[in-house]
Amino acid sequence: MRIVILGTGGYHPNERRHTACVMIPERGIIFDAGTGFFRVPQFVEQKKLNVFLSHAHFDHIIGLTFPLVALHRKEIEAIRIFGDAKTLQAVQIHLFAEPTFPVVPDFEYVELAESTTVPGNGILTYCPLNHPGGSIGFRIDWPETSLAYITDTIADGTYTDFVAGVDLLIHECNFPDSGVDLAKMTGHSYTTSVARVAAEASVKRLVLTHIDPQLTSDDPIDLSVAQAIFRETTIAQDLDEIEL
Ligand SMILES: [Zn+2]
Ligand SMILES: [Zn+2]
């Protein structure tokens, strides 16, 4: 299964990273709809898309305003948006408010049940995360493999059991260790904290994303620090493809 990372930045886009979006084309599954969502049409394999939103901060939902042309051209046939009640309400009332975006797309909104069956005989579950205003993390277990997508949270270990043993953990790492105070203040993660969660959860592989857009170097979060704690760690770049 191919996973495409369409946006790897947090907060706002910069010259090398768009904001949060992860797509599994053959399953029609997308996590978050940040600015990276503009890339979705070029990767569509299933014309019915299921979008799972972690929360309603703009860097995770603004891309929902992008697919109107692809819908009009039938490159995409339908989009279902999954989230908790608060997030779905924010999208419908605030993002698609008449003064901000007067065309209301014909999306279907689905409040997350305790578990959701997804294409490929997968079971999706979610858990609450510690972030200002709240966020939720996702896990999908298919018969042959598993992944978890955890973003916008302090890596406080409260969800270690939830992600335990997954083949792939995609996790935010907004800051290097030097940003620990900012991480705690803004409800985000820093390098050592994420690597510890991956090690304690005995995941197979860790991919770091949602990088602070002020940090534009090749190694914004000191990868070697993470790898010293959890060896199978990489930093995602926009348009990276991961085989799972
Ligand atoms: Zn964010
Ligand atoms: Zn957020």
Work out the number of other CB atoms within 10 angstroms of the CB of residue 92.
14
pLDDT tens figures, 128-166? 999 999 999 999 999 999 999 999 999 999 999 999 999
Q: Where are the domains of the chain?
A: 2-237
Mean pLDDT score, 214-222: 97
Measured in angstroms, how far is the CA atom of residue 121 from the centroid of ligand 2? 30
Q: Which ligand is nearest to the CA of 10?
A: 1
Measured in angstroms, how far is the CA atom of residue 41 from the centroid of ligand 1? 22
- What pLDDT is recorded for position 98? 94
Measured in angstroms, how far is the CA atom of residue 131 from the centroid of ligand 2? 7
Measured in angstroms, how far is the CA atom of residue 188 from the centroid of ligand 1? 9
Measured in angstroms, how far is the CA atom of residue 143 from the centroid of ligand 2? 31
Measured in angstroms, how far is the CA atom of residue 228 from the centroid of ligand 2? 28
Measured in angstroms, how far is the CA atom of residue 35 from the centroid of ligand 2? 14
CATH topology of domain 2-237: Metallo-beta-lactamase; Chain A (3.60.15)
| Mean pLDDT, rounded, of the chain | 97
